[in-house]
Amino acid sequence: MAKPIILAVDDEPVVLNSVERDLRQKYGREYRVMKSESGEMALAALKQLQARGESVALFIADQRMPEMNGTQFLEQAIELFPEAKKVLLTAYADTEAAIRSINRINLDYYLMKPWDPPQENLYPVLDDLLADWKVSASPSYDGIRVAGALWSPQSHAVKDFLARHQIAYQWLDVDSNPDGRALADSYSDGAAKLPVVSFPDGSVFIEPSLQDMANKVGMQTRAEARHYEIIIIGAGPAGLSAAVYGASEGHNVLVIEKHAPGGQAGNSPKIENYLGFPAGLSGMDLARRAITQAKRFGAEILSATEVVNVRIQDQYRIVTLADGTELSCKALLLASGATFRRLDVPGVEKLTGSGVYYGAAYTEARYYQDQHVFVIGGANSAGQGAMFLSKFASKVTMLIRRDTQWSSKYLVDAEAANPKIERLFNTEVTEVVGEPGHLSHIVTLNNITNEVKNLEGAAVFIFIGAKPNSGIVHDLVSVNDKGFIITGPDLIRDGKRPKGWTLKRDPLMLETSVPGLFAAGDVRLGTNQRVASATGEGGVAIAAIQQYLSTI
């Protein structure tokens, strides 16, 4: 197969040649580096590449070009290759243009000229973007192949797991791809068991569990020790941040994650309000960076491993894993976050994972290219989901139950300016109709006029809030009526410490009603359900844990 392409566009020959040289030096082995002296010439070449079925991984274009500037070029280039990453070369004075470009074309990065030395100013940025592209692009390689179907929730789970671990795979839809059908049929005993996953070493897994997948691809699923200073449950932003701070302070840290690291943020196609990333970054990208950082400091991270129970034994906090293994620690951090609230209307359960999805369903969205899809919800996550889906779908209808949206202004503005997005207010979904993999229509009710409508579309993406994952400690620590864990000063009621509290001190910041057991992030009462809050709380939790450890 042809190598994917990196295309540089600049009208200044000196700059163009030096960018080409730097790109070839580092990426020439894996990518075909092409250059063009103008946006018009580059677009003509791209049309030919598209006709030949080639793939483009990255555009790097100078903002200052006569006739067609960098932003204008990128705007047209992504019509041809929507998944390619977009980098703008700018001079200091072009910062305003770059910001406009971020808003207009979802620019991935703007790079200041000159970028010397490339090892510091060019390659780290492009490495990240290319790693991200590899995950989202359909790879043409002879690695892991997943034969499955849109209507199979297990296929969705396996793809999501591989994508979240940035493991490249080839997706073969059994309904549309003869190779996929053949692979699935050759391992079928008559019953349609999907997905069928084949590995380069010739082994094949049929309907694998996530733990099977994790073991096979070499993820750590077993702890190296029985005892740790700090155990963290959950590898979302709060857990990963605590792992980075805990391990960097020299503590012996284990993180246990039941799915793949990233948490809810892993569902976010673009986090635009996280400090330091003006062009935004995807939740998967954030998780990938955080995992690398935590491991570099020596934290251990288990994937596809669920904690099913927590108990206290003297000064030890003991967690039980799904396979019965018990691990102990001195301090335990609950960073188990929250899970999408389920939509309880007829038809949803039957179609979940195969036409109805919770969150933006990263891996599925592209299959709804040029189709009409629905987004249920009106908060930030729904707005982001709609913006992301509009890259693929012909139309995205947001169904919002109130008469207004409760999300950040930048998103409301972006939705309003997006011609593919339609917003229906005061609208509730009362039924989802279809067969797995083939949504026929949804039924909506206008809660002011009582008008009922049938709306045809290909898929429904649900974003209607989240509920805390506090079940494993529900009977152990104080929680509020919605299950959020109460911590620190909030535990003091009428000047009294929580029931059963025997220590002579008050609970520390983020400490629960059980000493040595802490909570951070979305599972905690009082957090504001943002990535930055979760990562901040992860760091604060480690400071509180250190204070606790100094007392035992």
Footprint on this chain of ligand FAD (rule: CB under 6 A): 233-239, 256-259, 263-265, 267-268, 271, 273, 306-307, 335-338, 359-360, 380-381, 384-385, 469, 472, 521-522, 529-532, 534
Q: 284 vs 290, 363, 464, 509, CA distance in Å?
A: 10, 12, 21, 29
Q: Among residues 174 and 307, whose Cβ is nearest to ligand FAD?
A: 307
What is the DSSP code string of 80-119? H-TTSEEEEEE-GGGHHHHHHHHHHH---EEEESP--SHH
CB atoms within 10 A of CB 419: 7
- SS3 at position 6: strand
- The least distance separating ligand FAD from the CB of residue 223, rounded to whole angstroms, comes to 13
What's the closest the beta carbon of residue 106 comes to ligand FAD, in angstroms?
Answer: 14
Query: How many other CB atoms sit within 10 Å of the CB of residue 32?
Result: 17
Closer residue to ligand FAD, CB minimum distance, 257 or 511: 257
Q: Which is nearer to ligand FAD, 198 or 535 (CB)?
A: 535
Q: Write down the least CB distance from residue 137 to ligand FAD, Å.
A: 21
Q: Which is nearer to ligand FAD, 110 or 357 (CB)?
A: 357
Nearer Cβ to ligand FAD, position 335 or 542?
335
Name, in order, each residue with C-beta under 8 angstroms of 191's C-beta and a sequence gap of 6 or more. none
State both tokens at 384: 């982001």
User: What are the residues facing 35 on neighbouring strands?
Assistant: 8
CB of 305 to ligand FAD, least distance (A): 7
Q: How far is the CB of 337 from ligand FAD (least distance, A)?
A: 2
- Closest approach of Cβ 430 to ligand FAD, in Å? 23
97 vs 290, which CB is nearer to ligand FAD?
A: 290
* The 204-206 sheet, strands edge to edge: 169-173, 144-148, 196-198, 204-206
Strands 338-340 and 459-462: unpaired
Q: Which residues pair with 255 in a beta bridge?
A: 232, 301
Least CB distance from residue 365 to ligand FAD, whole Å? 12
Nearer to ligand FAD by Cβ, of 85 and 259: the residue is: 259
DSSP string, 144-172: EEEEE-TT-HHHHHHHHHHHHTT--EEEE
Cβ distance to ligand FAD smaller for residue 387 or 429:
387
Minimum CB separation of residue 472 from ligand FAD in Å reads 5
Cross-strand pairs, 302 = 256
Q: Is the dihedral of CA 387, 388, 392, 397 positive or negative?
A: negative
DSSP 63: S
